[in-house]
């Protein structure tokens, strides 16, 4: 293929400006090319909170977005994941201390299912009962946050550090803590997917009832 042909094909591609969701002020995430708008859907874009806020101190927070809508020259995304970098998490680990983590799945008030992974670091080594109590606090507060907030509200409370601060203030009464973080947040299912799962579950239950009646 000649250089002219390659250049022509490149010119034929349309470039779309990728935009962050409303909760991140529709910030520009970059550009993505495609021959057809349909090719743009479901592409994922990774960035850091530091790049969005122009603050290098927040580069340890990674954000992942997925394109869900495409306009004439712009592509719009949904938030799907937040994760702290391994290097940052490793820097929080100390000898003679305890690390307490949990995996919590919550359903927000607008029916998004989200997995949240809080982690706490103690100042010294805690015993099992203390670790269990700290984990219980983390689980309770994450579940409470999910039950009281929309998806956007939950993500904002995590990214802005409000949820980790709430856990820290509550759990430090059990044992002295050095740091609490939400190490990862992942969107597991959107409302339509949750509804479809619930409908499928109801169908299965009705089939079981029908079988029981026949017996």
For 84-98, the pLDDT digits (tens) are: 999 999 999 999 999
Total structural domains within the chain: 2
203 within domain boundaries: no
Domain identity same for 124 and 182: yes
pLDDT range class, residue 202, cuts 50, 70, 90 = confident
pLDDT range class, residue 203, cuts 50, 70, 90 = low
Count of Cβ atoms closer than 10 Å to residue 66 Cβ: 15
Q: Please give the residue range of the domain that contains residue 185.
A: 92-191
Angle at the Cα of 77 from the Cα atoms of 71 and 83, rounded to 5 degrees = 165
Mean pLDDT for the chain? 92
At a CB cut-off of 8 Å and minimum separation 6, what does 124 contact? 96, 97, 98, 176
| pLDDT surpassing 80 at residue 198 | yes
Stated pTM of the model:
0.86
Domain identity same for 61 and 122: no
Domain identity same for 173 and 144: yes
**In the chain, pLDDT over 90 holds for what percent of residues?**
85
């Amino acid at each position: 293929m000649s250089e002219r042909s390659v250049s022509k094909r490149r010119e034929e591609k349309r470039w779309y400006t990728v935009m962050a969701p409303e909760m991140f002020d529709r910030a520009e995430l970059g550009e993505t090319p495609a021959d057809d708008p349909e090719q743009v859907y479901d592409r994922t874009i990774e960035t850091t909170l530091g790049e969005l806020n122009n603050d290098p101190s927040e580069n340890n927070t990674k954000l992942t977005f997925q394109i869900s809508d495409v306009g004439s020259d712009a592509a719009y995304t949904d938030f799907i994941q937040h994760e702290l970098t391994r290097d940052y998490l490793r820097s929080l680990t100390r000898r003679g201390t305890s690390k307490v983590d949990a995996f919590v799945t919550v359903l927000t008030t607008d029916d998004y299912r989200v997995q949240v992974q809080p982690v706490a670091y103690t100042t010294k080594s805690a015993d099992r009962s203390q670790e269990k109590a700290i984990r219980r606090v983390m689980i309770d507060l994450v579940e409470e946050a999910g039950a009281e907030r929309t998806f956007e509200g939950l993500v904002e409370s995590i990214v802005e550090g409000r949820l980790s601060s709430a856990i820290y203030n509550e759990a430090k009464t059990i044992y002295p803590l050095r740091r609490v973080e939400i190490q990862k947040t992942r969107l597991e299912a959107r409302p339509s997917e949750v509804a479809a799962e619930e409908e499928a579950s109801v169908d299965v239950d009705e089939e079981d009832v029908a079988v029981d009646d026949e017996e």
